[in-house]
Structure formats: C-alpha cells, structure tokens
Structure 1
Amino acid sequence: MSTKKVHKAWAFATAAVVVPCVAAMPAEAAAMPFTDIKNSGSEAELYKAVSELYSQGIVFGTTSTTFSPYQNLTRGEAAYFLAEALKLETKNVVNPGFNDVPTSHKYYGHIAALAEKGIIQKGTNYNPDHFIKRSQMAKILTLGFNLQQATTLSAPFSDFTKDDNETNKNIQTLLDYGITQGTSATTFSPYTDVRRGQMVLFLYRTLQKAEDDFYIISVE
C-alpha cells in the first residue's frame, strides 16, 4: 500500500460535487461545561474534541453539565451533529417526507438537510430515536465529507458484510483516512451502536483533516 499527499481540494472524490464548507477549528476552545469527561489519560482526546465542537455549536450535552460520552447516539442526534459540522442550511429545507419526522420535530431541519444532500436515503421512516450503527456512521461520514471511497478492502475484518460491498467500502474509507479503527484486530462490529463520544471523535478527526491536506491511500 502506498500513500501520497495531495491538496485537500483534490482529496475528495466526485468532481461534480462541491466539498461542503466545514467548520474551522478555533485556536482556543471556550471552557467546557461538561464534568463527565476528564482532560487527562485516555479521555484527553475526547475532552479536546467535545470542547472544540461544543464551542462551535456542533454538538450538545445531555444536560447542562453532562455530555454522556458513553451513551448510545440516536440517529436524530447524529443528523444534528453532522449537519452542523457541514454547516448545512437547516431552516429553508425541502421536506423529505419521513412519516416519523414531522416539521415540528426537533431534528427536522437537520434530517431534511442531510436528505436533500443525499447523505441519508429518503424513505417512509427515518427512525430518529433509534441508535445509529457503526456501518451507518461510516456511510454518512463518507458521503457527507465526500471522502474518496476505498476501492479495495485491505482490513482483515472477518465481519465485513458479505451482501453489501458498498458498506464495506465506506468502512475501509474511514480506516484509510485514519478516522476510526476496528473494535479488535479482526472485527469492525458494523452493527454495534455508536456512542456519543465516539461520534464526536470521528467528526473531530475528519474536521481536523479537512483543515490540512488529506492523504489518498492507494493499494498497489
């Protein structure tokens, strides 16, 4: 496998798609109000990620003083986080027609914005209160940030899904970009729920890479 560095304007796939404007990371984040994440040890990166994304209005806590990083993330919350990270228009949006997402729903604008961009698929229901899976997370990040999708599966995961190669490619894409990793040396756990803290880390790492040059990973 070889790696070459390219300017970020060319690191995204699909020439016909304009890369969405993403939030720039501030030099210093505002003081974080959440007391359930430590700014040390194994939580140091998470603390920094939550602090910076919270200061930009991209993520929110479960209370005024707790973020609940180990609580599972709902599909509605995921839509909010991603739409805000991409700086999408969430007010003047086209109704995607989900039966379970009326215009009065608290995440309606964010869900509609993602549907309008083709980041999530339109259908009968969106299930905003269901937990988002790791495979679904890989899809919305790959599509949302127009990451160059992997063409070869190089990870040694025994749980790559056999009937959905598109999902496998999205998972491999995040691995190639260094946004996430497996749950073990041989598993990705695509149908495991994503936790709130994990999603923040994935978004933070992707936004950090958007500031700098991306790396295109090619397997030879």
Structure 2
Amino acid sequence: RVKETATHKAGAYATVTVPAGSTATYTVTVSSGGTSATGSGSYTAGTTINIYAGSRSGYTFTGWTSSDVTITNASSKNASFTMPAKNVTVTANWSYSSGGGGSSTNATLSDTKVEFDKNEVDDLKVTLKSGSYNLRSIKNGSYTLREGKDYTISGKTVTIKASYLDSLKEGKHSLTFDMSGGTDPVLTIIVSDTTKTDPQEEKPSVEDPVNFEDVKSSDWFYDAVNYIYKAGLMVGTSDTTFSPYTDTIRGMIVAILHRLEGSPKADIANGFTDVGSDKYYTKAVAWASENRIVSGYGNDIFGAEDSITREQLAAILMNYAQYKGYDVSMRADLSKFADGESISPWAKDAISWANAEGLIQGSGSQLMPTGNAQRSQVAAILQRFIETITK
C-alpha cells in the first residue's frame, strides 16, 4: 500500500490510503455542505475518505446520511467511509437554529379569518411566513387538500382555489397548515352563497311523480325514488319500470356520484382493465379513482358490474364526503347490531359513520353490511345523504 495526496473539489487537502495498483476512480459528492466543507473529489475503490461538514450560520449540524455507503462517526462533522467501486453522494443534514442559537420561529398567516362567497367565485390568497419550518400539507378536517388542484404555492403566497371552496358547504371551515414543526397556523373560512335562487328549485320536488309501474305510493321507498329521479341521479330500467328490488352495481353508484358532482372531467384516463371505454360509467370511474373515492379490488380490477354491498356503499359515500371536505367525524356504536362482527375490518369506520348519520340504518338488530344494496335502498340512502350531509 502506498500513500498519495488527493486534491478535493472544495480546494482543501486530505491524506487518503490507496490500494497499490488501483487505477479506476469514482466520484464523491458532498451535498449540503457548509462553509469549508471537504471530501468531494475522485477516488479509487478501497480508499478511506475523510469528510468534513463545514459550518452554516444559523444552523446546527445533525448528522451525515447516504444511501451509497456506511459512514463511520456519522453524527460528527468529521466522519469517514470506505470508497466503493461506484460514485457516492453523502449529505450533511442541518436543523435551523434561528440565526445561531435563538429559539425557532413558528409559521404565521397574513390573515387568520377570511370570507368566500360562492356567487363571486374568486380564489383566496394568503401569505404564509413559514418561519423555521416547511409546509407539508393543508388539511380541512380529515381531508388533505391537493396541491395544484385545490391550492397552489408561489413564493410565500398560498392560493386556495375557488373550485375547491365552491365545493364546501356554507358555514365555517378551518384549514390547518401542517408545518414540519412548531405551531400549525389555522385559516378560518366563512363560506356563503348570495346567489339568488328560486326556493322551488332548491330541492327536487316529489310532486307530480314519475309513473313507474313497480313503484306504488304505498311503498316505503316511493318518495325516495321520486326524489332521486327528479334530481337526475337515477333513471328507470325502462320507460315504465324502476326495478326497486334489483341489486345496484358498483359502476352505477360511481356514475350517480359523478352526476351529483356535475359530471366533471377526469385529468387521468381510466386505469381499470375491466372497465371498457364504451360504458356509461367509464368517465365516472376515472374521475372517482383520480380523487380517491374508489380504489377497486387491486390488480387494476374495479368490478363495475358487481353488485355493491352495503359496506362498500358506505365506504364510497364516506370517501366522497371526505373529497368534498364534509365533516365525517360522527361515529355510532355498532355493538348494538347482532351482525356487527361481520363487518369487514376496512369498512368498520365507514359503516360507523354512515349509521351515525342515519344513512344506513339496518333492520331491527341486523345491519346486513355484506348484503347487496337494492336500487330502492340506494335511492333512500342517497336522499338522506343529500339532505343530511350536503345541505
């Protein structure tokens, strides 16, 4: 083994041990190094590399990291590793210490309470001073706003999109700016709608009912079927029949919610291999998948033609409510139902919410979570959803 001196990228010198006869060299990159950091350069495999993090005003060194090598004494500014036969990047990590030892600064907003009128449809803009931390996300309850779609960031300006705000119910909403540390600032938004509407148009009328031969005025679902039909969310299976006792398929449920949302266009193509491009629910499935309202069975299978179970319906409705930013915090005690233990683990939260909101009520002591949802039941559940959750 012989000794030689290597010149580093930062202009400093270090003594390294090189195996005799080695010729191929590989690059070391010191990322995020401070003033006077050393270690970057070209070395042969087997060389012992000494690295120094340097210093950064207002920051405290917290350690070295690398996915390429194992660093000896990684918590110290002065560390080392053995050069492998490949290029290496080592990163010096720092934490902000507020200008050299002072306390950290919490993030603040230029406004903490603003108003949004759906009739004006203007974006809302606030200035975020992030202090010592970084913005990780913005949340409205359990819903996480999507950057680029629900909001954008340019410098210190955060713009909440009118398209997102217009989807919120009238009243008070609290957006929490989730920071990487410190106190999370909260923006309170009061949503109103001064649009003048005809009171008679606010809700679908069940007067002047449709004439389905299989929907009688004495049926428990009579009003619900008329309500949903008048709203344009469900149609008959023929000009004269509704088929109230027929199972509802998964594709139909997604198509209904897509209509309820105003049939928006998805920004992505349908990714499910079992959803044909010519189906009435194809665009709806793409939209629902993009917005995490549905996820399918896995392996790119959605099962659009499968009958939907009551627990699947509850999960999809809860996902849609979260997408809209509605409050989904209510929960019911499901132990009162004799078949409560038959609820699938992934659906327990959604069924508990749906039962607490009166959407899925069960029959006596039976909740029937794995039973298929008939068209009449879906009509009733959707009417409750619109009148209770979206009001």
Choose which of 128, 132, 138 in structure 1 pairs with 2:314: 138
Q: Normalised by the size of structure 2, how large is the TM-score?
A: 0.45
Q: Give the residue type in structure 2 aligned to 1:179.
A: L
Aligned to 2:123: none
Aligned to 2:30: none
Contact 1:21–1:86 (CA under 8 A) maintained in structure 2: no
1: CA distance, partners of 2:209 / 2:315: 32
**Unmatched tracts of structure 1, length 5 or more:** 1-11, 213-220
Post-superposition Cα deviations, 1:192-220, rounded to whole Å, max 9, x if no partner, equal 111011011100011011454xxxxxxxx
Q: Give the residue type in structure 2 aligned to 1:61.
A: G
Question: 2:293 aligned with 1:119, yes or no?
Answer: yes
1: CA distance, partners of 2:329 / 2:337: 18
Post-superposition Cα deviations, 1:159-216, rounded to whole Å, max 9, x if no partner, equal 335785441111111111111212331x32211111011011100011011454xxxx
Aligned to 1:9: none
Contact 1:68–1:196 (CA under 8 A) maintained in structure 2: yes
Q: Normalised by the size of structure 1, how large is the TM-score?
A: 0.76
Contact 1:30–1:52 (CA under 8 A) maintained in structure 2: no
Aligned to 1:3: none
2: CA distance, partners of 1:151 / 1:178: 11
Choose which of 252, 256, 276 in structure 2 pairs with 1:102: 276
Displacement after TM superposition at 1:80 (Å): 1.4
Aligned to 2:381: 202
Matches within 5 A, 1:1-220: 13-14=141-142, 16-17=144-145, 20=167, 24-27=202-205, 31-40=209-218, 42-43=219-220, 46-89=221-264, 91-122=265-296, 123=298, 124-146=300-322, 147-150=327-330, 153-161=333-341, 164-185=344-365, 187-210=366-389, 212=391
1: CA distance, partners of 2:342 / 2:214: 39
Q: Give the residue type in structure 2 aligned to 1:131.
A: S
The alignment's C-alpha RMSD in Å is 2.8
Aligned to 1:215: none
2: CA distance, partners of 1:112 / 1:15: 20
Cα distance change, pair 176–13 in 1 and its aligned pair in 2 (3 A)? farther
Secondary structure at the counterpart of residue 336 of structure 2: coil
Displacement after TM superposition at 1:29 (Å): 5.3
Q: Give the residue type in structure 2 aligned to 1:189.
A: M
Contact 1:72–1:193 (CA under 8 A) maintained in structure 2: yes
Q: Give the residue type in structure 2 aligned to 1:14.
A: S
**Unmatched tracts of structure 2, length 5 or more:** 1-139, 146-163, 170-200
Displacement after TM superposition at 1:33 (Å): 3.0
Identity of aligned residues (%): 24
Q: Using CA pairs below 8 Å that are at least 6 residues apart, which structure has the higher relative contact order?
A: 1
Bigger Rg, which one: 2
Contact 1:138–1:170 (CA under 8 A) maintained in structure 2: yes
Displacement after TM superposition at 1:30 (Å): 5.4
Secondary structure at the counterpart of residue 145 of structure 1: helix
Q: Give the residue type in structure 1 aligned to 2:270.
A: P
1: CA distance, partners of 2:278 / 2:143: 36
1: CA distance, partners of 2:251 / 2:342: 28
Contact 1:80–1:111 (CA under 8 A) maintained in structure 2: yes
2: CA distance, partners of 1:162 / 1:36: 32
Contact 1:152–1:169 (CA under 8 A) maintained in structure 2: no
Cα distance change, pair 109–33 in 1 and its aligned pair in 2 (3 A)? farther
Give 4+ residue runs of structure 1 displaced > 6 Å after superposition: none
Post-superposition Cα deviations, 1:88-124, rounded to whole Å, max 9, x if no partner, equal 41x4442231011122222101111211111100541
2: CA distance, partners of 1:211 / 1:136: 20
